[in-house]
A and B are shown apart, each in its own frame.
Chain A
């Protein structure tokens, strides 16, 4: 579709009143502090692009990519503009016109092929012992990371030897009577960096009576591609995932990664696949998608078993942008935390402000990302919690780095990590009666 004809570009630019409300909620603007980083500035620049007043070149891309795509502006825009979608569409347009600017290797070849990605992660694991430089060059990371690689290296989390995929089967039977047949969307980052989360998610779901299907050929949800202007690749990934999940007769499709659930949500599917011949299939798919926290609280309405396993723990919650802003899911994780025996929940100020991680942003815009992270950590530390909980691997990596950076001895965990000990006890007898 022509850039000008894309729904947000065609219908929403003219809705901007330039009231500036979005300036007051943008974490990047709060750091850069001039109009070039204001969300309304991005809307304005996309309009300039649309009208041919500026060229789709590197200079414009540089301004637009200062945005984290955290969506805080969009949810707060009284006019109803999806500012981040305009921005993403413009990035894609610029990269389309300037293939040399695009981050080809990593996003096109690596992230679309899970096998290759997994192999390189293993390679990465080895490389971490020796230094990242040569590896990064080999897999093309140098193309997206300007300059300072040692810094990037510090950011990367330890890569486990086993992937999540290697620990779970394609079909996982429900414990006791089957209530639902659930597709588990195993995201790339969970698979590679947090395999124990994947394992725990499947255990929890099966415990509560779900048969869990993990299709073999799941590909990336497309979120990194959208952020990096690779809209066509994001589209083909989405279409692929729609097809492979629709091949099963599923009641729900669940994921423990907030970025994945946002990418698979109805709104995003419409953004990517609306108007194409796969639109109806995408709708069937996305109507079944739920973030794990919502599924556990609202559909399964779980009671956490084995309360005797409880250990007193003070926790605070970080809202991933892709959950709170993109999907408006704020209550479900808090409700879930309340149901975990032994948990004392302390709300941090501005829990839904971005951590500055945003996929590769923490690498490509390191200094800015650190400033945003520091604010987040200050607010998290104020709570006196000993665990900082969230449900997005990208946030976890960034927050873990933040905790190290601030010498904070609290642990950064996925909400599933808090649940997991309760499910490691005896097999559930009652359910099979």
Chain B
């Protein structure tokens, strides 16, 4: 089918307000946050903005009948090119479908449509003293649908885990246009082991199996108290030791984050009022729970950290805590500030490594940066071994681009070699699928078989994940 006919049909189906067909408008859908899409943008043939299951079904059926690729998209904050139609096709921008269908406070559940922004959901839940614990740095902008598709986690995964732990059931439009309901989507239970766990299969499937149109999420009671301990290190190598010792002391913080010296500088430049200390690294330990427990945990952490750290700041003042947490959240982008004529890039940014090897890996990444002559900022969720590496380059300088691509490749290989993974939370998308065989071996064949069972025509977000 010719592109102009595709556009015409879509407009006929959804009306012109919900379809973008102008070539100029389509260009805006050629990127997400990945570095890959800066190098290789992918313009779709059309973009639709559906706001009902029926509308999604109509579009998917049409695509199925005409062998047109379909690419679901949330807010486009993914770092893997996952929501990009690299070879054309129809992008479904689900971000405008942002209804919170029901908050079932008594059963501690909420039903949402895919476009709800994470932070808005938690604002709504707070009125019921509930929260959806995964806390990505992109909370203000990413959609819950995107989080489910990527199995996102974030700053509080240490204690609360990833999105998958909170999904009770899903409504999914399959590649042939049929609607599948999984797990407890239509029930109101918390425990449910009935049937093959298709919910878990869909979570983290990155849009290659179907389009998530409704989500039943489990919520948790909001903790009564919080506190943040900031430990300041003159020697970065000392930080991972503290993390291990805190666990050994029987303390499970809600989050443990690290910022290296450059990350600290970047945050201070963007928000001087946060005023992080000048150091080789800082660790932020967040603890939550009941007030006495929080105080106790804070004291123990301060004691342990004090053995190696230059100083420890214990904050319970909401304003200071918000500043410190914000400081960490903005590091991802603020990292660009360490070089006047440079930008951080999202590539090789998400390796996950064993806790016991963090210090070795951080050292090795620094050495790789030196080898290629590229400034590398390190920060991330050290409490679960998820290190975010931010190479800072001039992305418009071809030599630097070539070098950084080699650096990123080496970082991914390093992770695998260290018994880690190329991605802890951001996912695979288009940028890491080359490592699938290396990471999963035979299992990749079974992944392909699953994909084929769901999507025999291969129209659903093609050439992603594996």
- What residues make up the interface of A, taking CB atoms closer than 8 Å to B? 11, 14-21, 23-24, 33-36, 38, 41, 44-45, 48, 54, 59-60, 63, 77-80
* Complex partner residue of A24 from B20, B27, B141, CB under 8 angstroms: B141
**Which residues 387-414 of B sit at the A interface, judged by CB distance below 8 A?**
394-396
Find out whether the CB atom of B346 lies under 8 angstroms from the CB atom of A17.
yes
Given contacts A23-B141, A35-B29, A79-B334, 13 further A-B contacts (CB under 8 A): A17-B332, A17-B343, A18-B32, A19-B138, A20-B77, A20-B142, A24-B119, A34-B25, A34-B47, A34-B49, A45-B27, A45-B28, A54-B27
Find out whether the CB atom of B141 lies under 8 angstroms from the CB atom of A35.
no
CA distance A35 to B27 in the complex (A): 10
CA distance A38 to B117 in the complex (A): 15
CA distance A16 to B119 in the complex (A): 23
- B336: Cβ under 8 A from any A Cβ: yes
Smallest beta-carbon distance B68→chain A, Å: 20
Interface centre among A20, A23, A59, A78 (most CB of B within 10 A): A78
Q: Are A17 and B96 also in contact (CB < 8 A) when A23-B141, A24-B117, A80-B337 are? A: no
Beta-carbon nearest neighbor of A63 in chain B: B24
Residues of A within 8 A of B466 (CB): none
Find out whether the CB atom of A16 lies under 8 angstroms from the CB atom of B76.
no
CA distance A15 to B345 in the complex (A): 9
User: Could you list some 22 contacts between A and B, CB below 8 A?
Assistant: A14-B396, A15-B342, A16-B343, A17-B343, A17-B344, A19-B33, A23-B75, A24-B117, A33-B49, A33-B95, A33-B96, A34-B28, A35-B76, A36-B20, A36-B28, A59-B22, A59-B24, A60-B24, A77-B333, A78-B332, A78-B333, A79-B343
Q: Are A24 and B47 also in contact (CB < 8 A) when A16-B343, A18-B32, A48-B27 are? A: no
Smallest beta-carbon distance A59→chain B, Å: 5
- B330: Cβ under 8 A from any A Cβ: yes
Smallest beta-carbon distance A34→chain B, Å: 6
Find out whether the CB atom of B76 lies under 8 angstroms from the CB atom of A20.
yes
Interface centre among A21, A38, A59, A60 (most CB of B within 10 A): A21
Find out whether the CB atom of A78 lies under 8 angstroms from the CB atom of B24.
no
Find out whether the CB atom of B343 lies under 8 angstroms from the CB atom of A78.
no
Find out whether the CB atom of A14 lies under 8 angstroms from the CB atom of B333.
no
Q: Are A21 and B117 also in contact (CB < 8 A) when A14-B394, A16-B343, A33-B96 are? A: no
- Size of the B side of the interface (Cβ < 8 Å), in residues, is 44
Q: Are A20 and B75 also in contact (CB < 8 A) when A14-B394, A79-B334 are? A: yes
- B93: Cβ under 8 A from any A Cβ: yes
Smallest beta-carbon distance B91→chain A, Å: 10
Residues of A within 8 A of B269 (CB): 80
Residues of B within 8 A of A36 (CB): 20, 24-25, 28
How many A-B residue pairs have C-beta atoms within 8 angstroms? Tell me: 98
- B140: Cβ under 8 A from any A Cβ: yes
Find out whether the CB atom of B138 lies under 8 angstroms from the CB atom of A20.
yes
- B220: Cβ under 8 A from any A Cβ: no
- B341: Cβ under 8 A from any A Cβ: yes
Residues of B within 8 A of A45 (CB): 27-28
Find out whether the CB atom of B336 lies under 8 angstroms from the CB atom of A21.
no
Smallest beta-carbon distance A100→chain B, Å: 20
CA distance A17 to B341 in the complex (A): 13
Beta-carbon nearest neighbor of A10 in chain B: B341
Find out whether the CB atom of B33 lies under 8 angstroms from the CB atom of A17.
yes
- B31: Cβ under 8 A from any A Cβ: yes
Beta-carbon nearest neighbor of A15 in chain B: B343
Smallest beta-carbon distance A304→chain B, Å: 29
Residues of A within 8 A of B435 (CB): none
Find out whether the CB atom of B33 lies under 8 angstroms from the CB atom of A20.
yes
Q: Are A17 and B345 also in contact (CB < 8 A) when A38-B28, A45-B28 are? A: yes
Beta-carbon nearest neighbor of A42 in chain B: B28
Residues of B within 8 A of A19 (CB): 33, 77, 138, 141, 332-333
- B270: Cβ under 8 A from any A Cβ: yes
CA distance A378 to B381 in the complex (A): 39
Beta-carbon nearest neighbor of B28 in chain A: A35
Smallest beta-carbon distance A365→chain B, Å: 17
Residues of A within 8 A of B346 (CB): 17
CA distance A54 to B43 in the complex (A): 14
Beta-carbon nearest neighbor of A57 in chain B: B24
CA distance A80 to B334 in the complex (A): 8
Residues of A within 8 A of B334 (CB): 78-79
Find out whether the CB atom of A35 lies under 8 angstroms from the CB atom of B77.
no
Smallest beta-carbon distance B31→chain A, Å: 6
**Which residues 153-169 of B sit at the A interface, judged by CB distance below 8 A?**
none
Beta-carbon nearest neighbor of B119 in chain A: A24
* Complex partner residue of A14 from B75, B76, B343, CB under 8 angstroms: B343
Chain B, residues 131-149, CB within 8 Å of chain A (1/0): the string is 0000000101110000000
Smallest beta-carbon distance A342→chain B, Å: 30
CA distance A80 to B271 in the complex (A): 11
Smallest beta-carbon distance A331→chain B, Å: 12
Residues of A within 8 A of B142 (CB): 20
Chain B, residues 69-99, CB within 8 Å of chain A (1/0): the string is 0000001110000000000000001011000
CA distance A44 to B394 in the complex (A): 16
Residues of A within 8 A of B138 (CB): 19-20
CA distance A17 to B330 in the complex (A): 12
Residues of B within 8 A of A63 (CB): 24-25
Beta-carbon nearest neighbor of B96 in chain A: A33
Residues of B within 8 A of A18 (CB): 31-33, 37-38, 76
CA distance A14 to B270 in the complex (A): 17
Residues of A within 8 A of B27 (CB): 44-45, 48, 54
Find out whether the CB atom of A24 lies under 8 angstroms from the CB atom of B95.
no
Find out whether the CB atom of B336 lies under 8 angstroms from the CB atom of A15.
yes
